[in-house]
């Protein structure tokens, strides 16, 4: 489980999708589902904070985008959570499964290097960022897996942010949503702290290494790890909605 936590932190810090590794490993070890989810949130919240700290120190986080999007992300997540209570998740899961190969091709397509934008237009900040954050926040509340990866792709495609800074900025949203979910799980007694502490240490190590490599190696590393994350998501959704 510690190896899974390390790998999850490494992938999550660069391209998102780490929960697709750690949560199943907890379930396979016999941890009850709600406790597995809560313990995963405990480990991943601490791990994400490490990656976020590294990105902030390296001045990679685009605070303007985060400031204009975070409220919409939280509202979207709340709406998605309310919607899933009265709507089957299977149709959305199958739709995401069909879209993933195209998302992977978009991430792999060669692109000219973009200079880091220091300023964004009013449309970027007042329309695009809120819409991206609301839509992916809704998905996060409704279904969830791969949220960080989708944020990176959306920031890169629609706001023209390079992949490293897109990953760094997505960590703000990952951290806030993880913290909110952790508070709920902890209040309900669904976090195993004795199990969570070593997993958190491994996840922190993975996040620390991954975020440093992303900063040093640049967009190429992020692009290939993004493909790996989307592939894991594709396989997990295929198993859940078509094979299981």
Nearest CA-CA partner of 167 in 107, 126, 121, 110: 107
pLDDT on residue 129: 94
pLDDT tens per residue, the chain (244 residues)?
A: 999 999 989 988 888 878 778 888 888 888 888 888 889 889 988 999 999 999 999 999 999 999 999 999 988 888 877 776 676 656 766 666 676 676 666 555 555 545 555 578 899 999 999 999 999 888 877 766 778 888 998 998 899 898 889 999 999 988 888 888 888 888 888 899 999 999 999 999 999 999 999 898 877 788 888 888 778 877 877 776 676 5
For the chain, the farthest-separated pair of C-alpha atoms sits apart, in whole angstroms, at 50
pLDDT on residue 71: 92
Distances (CA, A) of 142 to 41, 53, 177, 183: 17, 28, 13, 19
| Contact between residue 31 and residue 195 where contact means Cβ atoms under 8 Å apart | yes
Q: What is the DSSP letter of 101?
A: H
pLDDT on residue 149: 86
pLDDT on residue 168: 93
Burial of 142 (0-12, 13-18, 19+ CB in 10 A): buried
**pTM for the full model?**
0.82
- Which residues make Cβ contacts (< 8 Å) with residue 16, sequence separation at least 6? 146, 147, 148, 149, 150, 151, 152, 167, 170, 174, 226, 229
Length, in residues, of the chain: 244
SS (H, E, C) 128-179: HHHHHHHHHHHHHHHCCCCHHHHHHHHHHHHCCCCHHHHHHHHHHHHHHHHH
pLDDT on residue 192: 95
């Amino acid at each position: 489980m510690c190896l899974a936590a390390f790998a999850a932190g490494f992938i999550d810090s660069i391209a998102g999708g780490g929960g697709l590794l750690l949560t199943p490993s907890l379930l396979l070890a016999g941890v009850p589902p709600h406790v597995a989810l809560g313990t995963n949130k405990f480990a991943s919240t601490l791990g994400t904070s490490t990656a976020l700290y590294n990105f902030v120190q390296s001045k990679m986080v685009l605070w303007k985008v985060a400031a204009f999007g975070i409220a919409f992300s939280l509202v979207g997540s709340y709406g998605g959570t309310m919607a899933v209570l009265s709507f089957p998740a299977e149709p959305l899961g199958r739709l995401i499964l069909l879209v993933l190969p195209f998302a992977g091709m978009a991430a792999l397509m060669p692109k000219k290097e973009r200079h880091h934008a220091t300023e964004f237009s009013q449309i970027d900040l007042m329309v695009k960022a809120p819409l991206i954050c609301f839509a992916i926040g809704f998905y996060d509340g409704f279904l969830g897996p791969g949220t960080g990866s989708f944020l990176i792709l959306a920031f890169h495609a629609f706001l023209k942010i390079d992949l490293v800074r897109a990953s760094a900025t997505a960590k703000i949203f990952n951290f806030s949503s993880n913290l909110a979910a952790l508070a709920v799980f902890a209040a309900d007694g669904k976090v195993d702290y004795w199990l969570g502490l070593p997993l958190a240490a491994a996840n922190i190590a993975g996040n620390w290494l991954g975020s440093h490599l992303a900063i040093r190696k640049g967009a190429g590393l992020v692009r290939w790890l993004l493909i790996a994350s989307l592939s894991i998501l594709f396989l997990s959704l295929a198993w859940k909605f078509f094979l299981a």
